[in-house]
Structure formats: C-alpha cells, structure tokens
Amino acid sequence: MKSTKNVLPSLLVLAAVVGLWWAAVVLTRSVIFPTPWQVVTGTLELARDGTLWEHIGASLMRVGAGFGIAVLFAIPLGLWMGRVRGAFVTLNPLFQILRPISPIAWIPIAILWFGVGNASPIYLIFIASVFPMIVQTTSGVHTIEKRYLRAAENFGVPRNKLFRQVVFPATLPDIIIGMRIGLGVAWLVVVAAEMIALRSGLGYMIIDSRNAGNRYDLVIAGMIIIGLIGLALDGIMRLLESMKNVRWRYVH
C-alpha cells in the first residue's frame, strides 16, 4: 500500500504529460510530430521484427563493457590514492584536469585511435565513467574517521586486514555512489557515440529514423526507451545501496 502511494504521484504526472502531448498535437494539427499512440505503434513495429531488441542489446553491450572496465580500473586506483598520500598528490591534479572535459569531445580522438566500431564507444564510456568513480572512491577513503584507523593500527592489525575489514567496507557506500554517477554518464555517452560513429544501437536508431523518411514516431520512441532503460539502470544501482553488506560508515 505504501509503495502504491509513492508511485501514484509519478504516474499521475506522466499521465498528465502524455495528455498534454496528445492535446498539443491534435490542436496544432501537426503532420510531423507524432501522437503518443503513433509512438506506441511504431515501437511495436520495431519490436515485432526484432530491430528494437538488436539496438537495445548493442547499446547495453557497449555500456556493460566500457563501464565494467572502468570499475576494474577506478576502484583499486581510488582506494590506493585515498590511502597513499604520494599517489594522491601525484595523480589527483591530472584527473582533475581530465575530469571536466566532456566525453563528447573525445569522439574524434576515439575514432582516430580505434576506428568506427565497438571499440570507440567502449573507450568513450570508459573515459566518461572512470573519473567520477575515482574521485568518489578517493573521497570516501579520505572521509573515514581517523580514530578508527589509528585504533586498528594501535592493536597491531595487519595492513591487508585493515584494508579488507575497515577501509573497503567503510568506503563502499561512496564507491556505489560513484558507480551510480558513472553508469548514468556512460548511458548518456553511448547514445551520443552511436549517433556519430556506428550503425547499431539506440542512438543510431534515432538518427536513422530521422534520416529515413522522417519517422519521428520512432525518434520519440527511441528517446523514451533510452529514458526508461536509464531509469532501470539507476534502480539497479540503488538496490546495491540497500544491501546489508553496505555499511553506511559506522552508524550506531
């Protein structure tokens, strides 16, 4: 019952948006912009012939590969930078210079280095998602209360055990936040990369629908599907935050 009350306001807002959209198209008598029903029928058309699932699968594959590589790289590096001051002082300025650069700006370089294929968007996704995770993981290590680390060291806890049982569990909430941010940016970047350099994926589907007969029903369908998948991915990351093994610092 409680979950229904939480969802109901969002459903009402979505219904209002769809109603206003439909009314605007009908009142303006637009011959280009589609009604919600035309978007639904266009989506069903792509779903029946399998094209939709191919594009969704291609985009998810690229995001999974690029984001997975970024996780394997960023989390150990962020933990190391958080614990070793020399590593932080040396590497942090470089990452702070690279981090504000838009991932879209890397597209020409990605094409130059990797050509037109899956390697380019995977590289772009890696670049887009790795820096938020490095910064958030490093910040998480820095914000661990020093008294806990000093107490463990005073009791002679070995460094490896201190890392496994204190540092990593205490930093895990920040790691998950960084992963959540990184995944959102990764999903955004793959769509942009597919619009420019590929012939598959949801980004390509949007551009191809626009160029092939002004199928704006499929353009809007692609945009909505991108948003829904992004919502689902964010929901998966939020589930990680509720896991019992995630210790939100040292709560009493």
In a domain, 247, yes or no: no
pLDDT, one tens digit per residue, over 87-120 is 999 999 999 999 888 888 888 888 888 887 888 8
> 74 and 3: one domain?
no
In a domain, 246, yes or no: no
> 45 and 124: one domain?
yes
Question: In whole angstroms, what separates CA 61 from the centre of its chain?
Answer: 13
- Of 178, 198, 177, 184, nearest in space to 227 by CA: 184
pLDDT at 199: 81
> 150 and 228: one domain?
yes
Q: How far apart are alpha carbons 212 and 163 in whole angstroms? A: 56
pLDDT, one tens digit per residue, over 38-55 is 899 989 988 998 889 999
pLDDT at 250: 46
Full domain range(s) for residue 11? 1-31
Residue 188 has pLDDT above 60, yes or no: yes
Residue whose pair of structure tokens reads 């939480």 in the numeric block: 6
Give the CB-side neighbour count of residue 164, counting CA atoms within 13 A.
5
Q: Which token pair is 103?
A: 């991932």
Are the beta carbons of 134 and 174 closer than 8 angstroms? Answer: no
Q: What is the mean pLDDT of residues 222-248?
A: 82
Report DSSP letters for 51-120, one per residue. HHHHHHHHHHHHHHHHHHHHHHHHHHHHHHHHH-HHHHHHHHHHHHHHTTS-GGGGHHHHHHHH-SSTHH
> 85 and 133: one domain?
yes
Domains in the chain, number? 2
In a domain, 252, yes or no: no
Residue 252 has pLDDT above 60, yes or no: no
CATH number of the domain at 54, please: 1.10.3720.10
> 50 and 159: one domain?
yes
> 158 and 57: one domain?
yes
